[in-house]
């Protein structure tokens, strides 16, 4: 062995990497997500990993934990724009739509599944590099409300297919909460929203009562109405009647109730329990203007939302003089994937796409064995030809170790027969490579 | 419209981005490449976009145009390792194999299709961010030679499927050229290799003659043998006899001839003209130790190699005290994709995955139309429900503009029939959504 110096690489914290058997599952997740997105007619886009720092600055978002990139051997006369890795797919979408406005068809329905980067302090469940899976629909001037029901339907179908366990999507509408508070005569809502948002952490209703007493000048009656409001949770549009009984009226509230009722009515085909109108959710205060979505595990609600989004009034106003409302929803893919990996302790037996290992009988039968492998590959199977002239036991051991389900024995001499061994039950049979199928 | 300040984003040179209709083709390319890789049993891995700068330094590769990343708001006490975006997939593979050695099965057959970054000066056909598609087989101590024939077979199958036009893969073996020169008594081969490599640019044989006369002390006989050698090009293993006629003998040469003959003999199932043993190719001097591959367009050979690679002796010696020989081959995906895009002036009519647009007859028929869309989606079609209650002509225009091949008319009233219109020929027929199939 060489005597040269060896540098032992350290794991880079916050940048996930999987063994092939886990990567296989990850790829199946991506395939599933993509196929559902496409089944609703959403098109794929990808954007560069970087944006000009000025593009981020125009949206006022340079305070986030942004990574800038720089050439290691930068020349002094380098006058190029500063570039930063994107930290989400929303700013890139806004820039894309603004820049390519005349080449796109609206409503523009796109999905995007890329890595994003955030320089957060590494901690459990937080990555610095991770995949996000987003869909958004962008329209010019007016975006039909039925899209507010379509995007959560898509994500629910995806989550059901990923088998992530019991979950529930909560829907609300920013106009309901804001209109309700306005109807109560509350003009400065910041402290109230904060109290509602913290409800679970500060001891439920009593905590909210205390906090509102200490941070606002609201009277008991107002506070009790707010608390009553945060309890409204219905599987359909009946939340409207519950709000009515609180006796608060406001134009914005009315508008929000109508919108959310329409959305809930358009989600009635979804299995019971998966969606709920939940008026207590407070999300994306400075961004969302209508419907909002959050999604929680029923057995671990404190894990936080695994799929979130909402409607916004103005996607790309920082980059183009057009009014582009949109609605979008996003899965924090890597976070969810890693959670399920740790929770389910996946121990996949199959480390390879290979369906069939073709045995190499001997070096002088290589051409025949390779031809068998090609025939099976042409028929759509994933096929390896064993790589060396070794004992059969060793070849079978290789298949077993990698979880290859079938071992194929091509004829060991001219005129011999093909046989295949099913590794799950050990059964071995004579077969024809042109017609055989996996059982 | 708002009066706020607008920042008009500039295109970022060297970072490609496609419209949805081009992205669709790109995704089909990726799907095809992946399916061929997997059909040979290669498993997928992905590595983080970054490596420690020290990992690159250990391989002596920090001179390349590396991008380092840094948090914009870096704290002073930041003691973390410096990170750089990877510039290829070979260093990450070496680090991956070294770090996960005990968890992998050897020979380790992996594919990798990720973005890589190089801070080159932007120019036509050069990107700063681009996709590469690599396969490598890594063994411990001994790697069977038949893999040197397998990896080019895979890439040829891929290129045939991508319909990139007429191409040819050239194979050689570093030992043949080095052994031949050694057999001629040439110990310092640098100038000779440079002359051979430049042949096409310096005026062919005469240029090589002149350059060798001026930069080396070789005599006419040696020079003529070298020139004769560079002309050897055969579709099979007959190059061996051509070399023999030059009357040069050396142990390394002999070894190289045997290896390349074995590889060529194992490629005889490939369509005529696609592979050739070409002893003039000089590639990866400091890295490859055996078989080498280059691939050129027949109608544009000067474009350079579109698919290259070779065998190397020691993948990860900088990171682990193991002898890990490998063979790999790579497609510079983005460069090839963009070349074909510009050459073929793709003008795809289909901008969306949608197979069927379901017409919305009227707002009060929305639930029925949505149910039809769901039935068709369940049957595997990509289906959009038209987004607004608008005139039929407008809905049909939307389908036409986006290149959606079928428009579906659900019953306009209870008891009515379903009809479908084939947008390619205008034919419209009564159909059943449970049984209809695209023609």
Model pLDDT for residues B246-270, shown as the tens digit of each residue? 999 999 999 999 999 999 999 999 9
Residues 6+ apart with CB under 8 A from A432: A418
Kindly report, residue by residue over B213-252, the tens digit of the pLDDT: 999 999 999 999 999 999 999 999 999 999 999 999 999 9
Residue A121 has pLDDT above 90, yes or no: no
B2 pLDDT exceeds 50?
Answer: no
Distance CA B313, CA B143 (A): 10
Q: What is the pLDDT of residues A171-213, one digit of tens each?
A: 999 999 999 999 999 988 889 998 998 888 898 999 999 999 9
Cβ–Cβ under 8 Å, residues B279 and B177: yes
Residue B201: the pLDDT is 87
Q: In this model, does residue A2 exceed pLDDT 60?
A: no
CB pairs under 8 A between A and B: 275
- Closest alpha carbon to B161 in B331, B324, B304: B331
Give the pLDDT of residue A64: 65
Kindly state the percentage of chain A with pLDDT values over 70.
97
pLDDT tens digits for range A47-74: 999 999 989 877 776 666 899 999 887 7
Q: Does B77 touch chain A (CB under 8 A)?
A: no
pLDDT of residue A345: 75
What pLDDT is stored for residue A349 in this prediction? 79
What the block records as the tokens of B259 is 């290896």
Q: Does residue A55 contact residue A95 with C-beta atoms inside 8 Å?
A: yes
pLDDT value, residue B126: 84
CA dist B117 to A72, A91, A353, B122, B324, Å?
A: 12, 21, 29, 12, 26
Model confidence at B285, pLDDT cuts 50, 70, 90, reads low
CATH of segment(s) B12-164+306-348: 3.30.930.10
Q: Which of B2, B6, B8, B9 to mutate to test the interface with A (most CBs of A within 10 A)?
A: B9
Q: A307-320 in b/e burial notation, b at 16+ Cβ within 10 A?
A: bbbbbbebbbbbbb
User: A345 at the B interface (CB within 8 A)?
Assistant: no
Stretch A92-110: mean pLDDT: 97
Computed on alpha carbons and rounded to an integer, the radius of gyration of chain A in Å comes to 28
Pick the CATH number of A356-431 from 3.40.50.800, 3.40.50.620, 3.30.2310.20, 3.90.950.20: 3.40.50.800
Question: What's the maximum distance between 2 C-alpha atoms anywhere in chain B?
Answer: 95
Q: Which of A305-309, A341-345, B220-224, B398-402 is the least confident region?
A: A341-345
- Domain residue spans in chain B? 12-164+306-348, 172-273, 356-431
Q: What is the pLDDT of residues B8-35, one digit of tens each?
A: 998 888 999 999 999 999 999 999 999 9
A83–B1 C-beta distance less than 8 A: no
Cross-chain Cβ contact B65/A71 below 8 Å: yes
Q: Which of residues 153-212 of B touch A (CB under 8 A)?
A: none
Interface test with B, best of A2, A11, A12 (most B CBs within 10 A): A12
Cβ-based contacts of A18 with chain B (< 8 Å):
45-46
**B390 contacts chain A (CB < 8 A):** no
Coil, strand or helix at A302 = helix
Paired sense of beta strands B275-278 and B167-173, if any:
parallel
DSSP string, B151-216: HHHHHHHHHHHHT--SEEEEEEEHHHHHHHHHHTT----HHHHHHHHHTTTTTHHHHHHHHHHHH-
């Amino acid at each position: 062995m060489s005597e040269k110096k060896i540098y032992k690489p350290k794991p880079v914290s916050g940048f996930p990497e999987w063994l092939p058997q886990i990567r296989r599952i990850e790829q199946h997740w991506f395939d599933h997500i993509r196929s559902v997105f496409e089944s609703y007619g959403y098109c794929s886009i990808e954007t560069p990993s970087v944006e000009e720092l000025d593009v981020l600055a125009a949206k006022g978002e340079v305070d986030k934990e942004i990574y800038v990139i720089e050439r290691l051997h930068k020349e002094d006369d380098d006058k190029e724009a500063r570039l930063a890795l994107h930290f989400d797919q929303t700013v890139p979408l806004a820039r894309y739509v603004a820049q390519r406005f005349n080449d796109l068809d609206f409503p523009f329905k796109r999905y995007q599944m890329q890595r994003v980067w955030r320089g957060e302090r590494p901690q459990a469940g937080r990555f610095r590099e991770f995949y996000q899976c987003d869909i958004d629909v962008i329209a010019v001037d007016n975006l039909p409300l039925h899209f507010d029901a379509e995007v959560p339907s898509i994500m629910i179908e995806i989550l059901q297919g990923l088998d992530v366990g019991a979950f529930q999507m909560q829907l609300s509408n920013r106009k309901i909460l804001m209109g309700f508070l306005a109807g109560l005569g509350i003009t400065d809502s910041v402290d109230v929203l904060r109290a509602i948002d913290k409800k679970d952490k500060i001891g439920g209703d009593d905590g909210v009562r205390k906090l509102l007493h200490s941070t606002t000048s609201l009277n008991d009656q107002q506070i009790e109405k707010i608390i009553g409001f945060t309890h409204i949770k219905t599987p359909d549009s009946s939340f409207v009647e519950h709000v009515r009984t609180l006796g608060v009226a406001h134009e914005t509230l009315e508008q929000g109730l109508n919108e959310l009722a329409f959305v809930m009515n358009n989600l009635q085909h979804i299995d019971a329990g998966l969606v709920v109108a939940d008026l207590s959710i407070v999300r994306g205060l400075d961004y969302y203007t209508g419907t909002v979505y959050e999604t929680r595990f029923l057995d671990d609600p404190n894990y936080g939302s695994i799929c979130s989004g909402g409607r916004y009034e103005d996607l790309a106003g920082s980059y183009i003089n057009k009014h582009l409302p949109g609605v979008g929803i996003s899965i924090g893919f890597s976070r969810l994937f890693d959670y399920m990996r740790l929770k389910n302790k996946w121990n996949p037996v199959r480390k390879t796409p290979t369906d069939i290992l073709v045995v190499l009988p001997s070096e002088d039968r290589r051409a025949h064995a390779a031809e068998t492998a090609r025939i099976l590959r042409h028929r759509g199977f994933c096929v390896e030809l064993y790589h060396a002239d070794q004992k059969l036991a060793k070849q079978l051991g290789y298949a077993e170790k990698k979880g290859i389900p079938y071992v194929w024995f091509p004829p060991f001499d001219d005129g011999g027969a093909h046989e295949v061994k099913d590794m799950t039950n050990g059964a071995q049979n004579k077969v024809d490579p042109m017609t055989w199928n996996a059982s």
